[in-house]
Structure formats: structure tokens, C-alpha cells
Amino acid sequence: MKIAMWSGPRNLSTALMYAFGNRADFTAMDEPFYAPYLAETGLAHPMSGAIQAAHETDPAIVALDCADAGNRPHKYMKHMPHHMLDGFPLDWADDCVNIHLIRHPARVIASYAAKRENPTLDDIGYQQQATLFDRIGGVVIDSSDIRKNPEIALKKLCARIDLRFDPAMLSWPAGRRGFDGIWAAHWYGVVHQSTGFAGAEGRLPKLEGAAADLLDAALPLYEKLKSSQ
């Protein structure tokens, strides 16, 4: 089985990658289209130069890697919809179990803004994720359900995709993983300190100004995806 897990940033996606990557029967890939996305757009992201130097920037080569089954029974790929620019190959996803991970945009915006100033709707990926879901379909899961009760939520997810649940998904050793992208040094500090999923989230953060406007734009897209659970 090849799983393509699609989500925007700051969305529990790294912790979920660690959960699947902790299984002995899985290999994992971390945002393989990030370097091609940066090379194509020229956007000034943290560590942009280092990312392009360390990772493959040709989307056609990356697509071949995604299509490869790997050397274990299953393969988990963490992807972001906004990395899939027009012209980037997507046919490899036809052979995947496509899962769409969502999180309330108020939480995403507050978390993203703490790492990179003035995020835009393109940065947080809701429009691209909604468009991708319309194109390829798949399973929709909400990160809040995993945070509330990881075991129940992951057992339910595994049942939906006909995958044996493995208790190894519920905890992992602290620290980096060999499959982490080089950008982990900037983005993954909290998850590197973790040994499992954090507990249920509290109240939604209150946003003001441009952040509140961004929430207004993202919320209908999130709600559309959530209605497909």
C-alpha cells in the first residue's frame, strides 16, 4: 500500500508521519515536492537555498520516486497540495490511498504565523487542498479527532483503508528521523521533543487584522472538506 497524506502546514502532519514511520512495515517520505516547488516559484521560505541544495528539484524525478513502491510492504508520503504546481506530475497518485488531513484554519494560521510572517491563503493550502480533493477524492480526517483520542482515531482510519492497526503508531522516540527533510531544523522543533500525540486542543485562538481576514477566506474551504468526512 502507498499512502499519500495531503495536508497544509501546521496540521499535525509531521506527527502523523512519525506515527506511520514508526511502523516496521512502512517507509516514509517527507514533502518530496517541496524543493521543486521552491525552485519553480522562487519564494523566500526559511532555508530555501539549503532545501534546494539537499533535495531533488526536478518534479519528474520526484514523481518517479513517489511511484516507486519502496523496499517495505507499505509506503507513507507526506504531501502538501500547494506544492503541486501546474505541470507537476500527479498521475503517480492514482495508485495511492489518498488521505486528506485537515485542521481548523484558526489554529493553522496562529501556528504558521509564529514561524513565518504574514501568511497568505496560498501558503496555508486550503484552496489547493479543496481543488485536489475534487480531482482525486479520498478519505478526509480531522487532526482534532486524532488529538482527542489517537488510538480510536487511528484504528478507525486503518479500518477505512483496510490496513492492520499497529500500536507502534501511538508513540515514537524523541528526536529527528532519517526521513525528515532538511527543513526539520526550522519547522519540527516541537515534534522532535514529542514521544506521541499531544492531548486535545483548547479553545480556538482569536485572530485579528490580516489574520482574521485570512481565516474568513479559509474557513469555507475547511468546512467543505470537513463535510466530506
User: What DSSP state is assigned to residue 139?
Assistant: E
pLDDT in tens, 79-92: 999 999 999 999 99
pLDDT in tens, 163-219: 999 999 999 999 999 999 999 999 999 999 999 999 999 999 999 999 999 999 999
Average pLDDT, the chain: 95
From the list 136, 148, 123, 76, the residue with the least C-alpha distance to 217 is 123
> Cβ of 82: how many Cβ atoms within 10 Å?
22
From the list 9, 76, 21, 18, the residue with the least C-alpha distance to 46 is 9
From the list 189, 184, 191, the residue with the least C-alpha distance to 55 is 184
- Can you give the pTM of this predicted structure? 0.94
CA 90/CA 74 separation, integer angstroms: 19
The answer to whether 6 touches 129, Cβ cutoff 8 Å, is yes
Phi (first) and psi of residue 68, to 5 degrees: -70, 140
Q: Which residues pair with 194 in a beta bridge?
A: none
